[in-house]
Structure 1
């Protein structure tokens, strides 16, 4: 994938929430690593070279979350290039679109946008991360 365009509660580019692991593997190939959660009925697969992490349900709900890191090219939300604009500017834009994020341990969850972001207020590229998630994932 050359572009990583996030659509709220839908997915990122051709990756759509609810896709099966096999459907994703047809698009991306096999992951570099996979690990089942000890606490939840889900597993995480990583494509480490490009900074992509996908979380799948182990109960048949398919793809639940798409994690994106700064080494991915052209990560966009509403036309805003998330890793190419200063972090504080990105955070301000996201906050303008959803002014009631949930803040937990340095991560801000924007429910109206279907996004969680980390590291944008410090503007440290090595600490930035974005996760797009399926509706209902962070509700509790």
Structure 2
């Protein structure tokens, strides 16, 4: 399956605002679920069959895809099928900048975060789409970064 990311909407058939039951209808039941640190959060895992789905107040708020899920695309960019540095440069250009904190790269206008796609083994490479307002008030520790010189 090709997982197409649509900013602030979702990934593939998984849309922000869906309930766990809605998600299960579209991509099947999770292999496992885990309660988050906050009482109103939950994450569902389906191995390499589908992205990790995170809920806040029983509604999809984040969707994270790892390198081994298959084809993940955003605006014509194959996220894991393209050189990581090129992906980061393209996302930075589309977003009008990038910010980083503790290895998380934020593309706030695109509704995306990524790990360092240009570093380390691909086992840690991921991209997360998030619902609007997810990062509001939580970016004080982020600093600007540019991938244009890499």
TM-score (norm 1): 0.91
Indicate the residue corresponding to 1:32 in structure 2.
31
Q: Kindly report structure 1 stretches of 4+ aligned residues shifted beyond 4 Å.
A: none
Query: Contact 2:67/2:123 (CA < 8 Å) preserved in 1?
Result: yes
Indicate the residue corresponding to 1:82 in structure 2.
79
Aligned length: 137
1:30-68 residue CA offsets vs partner (Å, 9 max, x unmatched)? 1111111123521000011336200012x24x1101000
Indicate the residue corresponding to 1:126 in structure 2.
123
Gap regions ≥5 residues in structure 2: 138-150
1:89-113 residue CA offsets vs partner (Å, 9 max, x unmatched)? 1001001112332211111010110
**Segment of structure 1 superposing worse, 31-40 or 63-72:** 31-40
Gap regions ≥5 residues in structure 1: none
Partners in 2 of 1:71 and 1:11 — Cα distance? 19
TM-score (norm 2): 0.86
Indicate the residue corresponding to 2:8 in structure 1.
9
Task: State the Cα RMSD in Å.
Answer: 1.4
Indicate the residue corresponding to 2:132 in structure 1.
135
